[in-house]
Chains A and B, each alone.
Chain A
């Protein structure tokens, strides 16, 4: 089809992809340090989205907002990141720390336990109805970039920019700060790091806090751009984030970003040019092929196996 259609799908894909990338970052950071798949990550994202919704309701709801929109979004992001971050720390303390030296498969099940627990908690406290951020009530979606038949709303632009900003901040944190250095050291070799005097427990807690906070931010961003919030939203998003992390090369931070973008773009273009019915079949087939060519993911380093 025509050029506009292509660009439109590109924008759709990048929006979706930047959300996936934020979720994938949490997976990959935790994996890098603990070699552990945090399957409860999707639920942390869900709780973040609800935290943002709570802020929206506290300030009068979408229809009678009593606060400046920019301030509202900043507050939402702040509350969600803080709430999700703390939740991540609690999860680490109760579901993962007792299993630090257990077989690798054990934390998988305690993570699923956390997942079930958080989903049911949300169902109990917030009910089964779909909640909506109703962004269109307080932000005019017609404002934004108009370029011929092409439309990019201001919300989309804001979401993409926020995602980029958060990722740049994360890269700076990991590469330029003392904490980042400690994180990299711990990821490289936990025991050696401990011997160098790095407080490994603190590094792990910090990693969980940062990764979960990013998931919380992703929750609010999904609420802003796709509106719908409910108790099981974390499941599919978590799955996509996990996929993105693995495809990018699990453990690699730029890999997670790339993987997320790739899946978002893949979904948009498959729906646009091939079929929405079998979207998952095509996207997954491409990813399988990709993994067969690069068995350690796009940017993952092939593990040197120690004997």
Chain B
């Protein structure tokens, strides 16, 4: 009894002292990493791209896919020269802010791909704006106001809500001739502005709108589905989780609801395959684009959602910009940002040639509308 207690206390003391020693030595190692005050020419010795995304947590399905495609781009295009450093944000702006500081302080990092959510972009913007401004390219933040010029080093490879909302509303109103639309947002930073946009566009066009919202963590939508009355023609779901839209659709079938589902680009994924539904997407089906077959084979893993491929393009743009900046042996972040602005990717995997506008948006962004057939087969309808 006495001996074991002693042993425990001794072990505890060892542990405490050791952990303090580890903390001290590990921080010494953090400090050994190049910091913002080091000379800028060192950047090309070990040029890196920082990856920010929700690799764990509720939005891991987005982050893991984005990380997979970023790694794929590094493997395929960087030729071992440019490295990827990952930072997990869990879609929490506070974590994004800390990871952002970490990336900003590391002079090896010349550009960042990510973060995923608009709220995270807002959280890291003040950090990346500081001296030694760090360019960053999001693969999924769609809030319109992000590219109003207030965040000078921000780029995104997806079109913003000001493109998607009107295209969607116009299609619902003019082609589907809907009179009565049921909109459900999923209470995320992605979903709410989009739902608001479509709602105001539809109301302006004289369409009756019933607005609801439901937390995306919920597994059962049946009580919400029961609320869809027989007058409703279209149910608009601007959701992040396609699997949820699939549940919603199945529960509509189960309760004999006849309305048509219209999903946003978040729903554009193999997880959602209710025949007869419509979805909007910013790229003509990536899997159907000619010349993409080898690209998809090369990814080696199964990919379901369309959160990944834009991240490939973001990483592709970053690698190109860094390589160009490093051609003369040294590079600064400002140089990389200048090169990013001049990005030109011919025949990108998202279809067509890829360029940024002066504000960092996708040039010539367009939304496509697809109709889903049996087995989830997509047909371009608008």
Interface residues of A (CB under 8 A from B): 5, 8-9, 12-13, 15-16, 120, 123, 127-130, 132, 136, 141-142, 149, 151, 153, 222, 225-228, 230-233, 235-237, 267-269, 271-272, 276-277, 279-280
Contact = CB atoms under 8 A, between A and B. Distances in A.
A268 B227 CA distance: 11
Contacts of B212: 276-277
Task: Please report whether the interface of chain A is mostly helix, strand, loop or mixed according to DSSP.
Answer: helix
A141 B227 contact: no
A151 B255 contact: yes
Interface in B211-263: 212-215, 217-220, 222-224, 226-227, 241-244, 246-247, 250, 253-256
B213 A9 contact: no
A190 B284 CA distance: 66
A127 B64 contact: yes
Given A16-B220, A128-B64, 18 more contacts: A8-B226, A12-B220, A12-B226, A13-B223, A128-B60, A128-B61, A130-B61, A130-B242, A132-B246, A151-B255, A227-B250, A232-B57, A236-B217, A268-B222, A268-B223, A271-B214, A279-B214, A279-B215
Nearest to B62: A128
Given A151-B256, A232-B57, A277-B212, A227 B226 contact: no
B213 A15 contact: no
A15 B133 CA distance: 54
Q: State the 6 A-B residue pairs at the shortest beta-carbon distance, nearest first.
A: A130-B243, A128-B60, A268-B223, A128-B64, A271-B223, A12-B222
17 contacts: A8-B226, A12-B226, A15-B220, A129-B304, A130-B61, A130-B243, A130-B271, A136-B250, A149-B256, A153-B254, A227-B246, A228-B244, A232-B58, A237-B219, A276-B227, A277-B187, A277-B213
Contacts of A9: 223, 226
Interface centre among A15, A129, A132, A227 (most CB of B within 10 A): A129
A259 to B, nearest CB: 17
Contacts of A237: 219
Nearest to B375: A63
B358 interface: no
A282 to B, nearest CB: 13
Contacts of B304: 129
Nearest to B242: A130
Contacts of A226: 219-220, 247
A77 B223 CA distance: 26
A272 B56 CA distance: 33
B220 A132 contact: no
Nearest to B187: A277
B61 A276 contact: no
A13 B213 CA distance: 18
Contacts of B64: 127-129
B226 A280 contact: no
A273 to B, nearest CB: 9
A235 B215 CA distance: 14
A16 to B, nearest CB: 5
B219 A123 contact: no
Nearest to A144: B254
Interface centre among B57, B58, B226, B304 (most CB of A within 10 A): B226
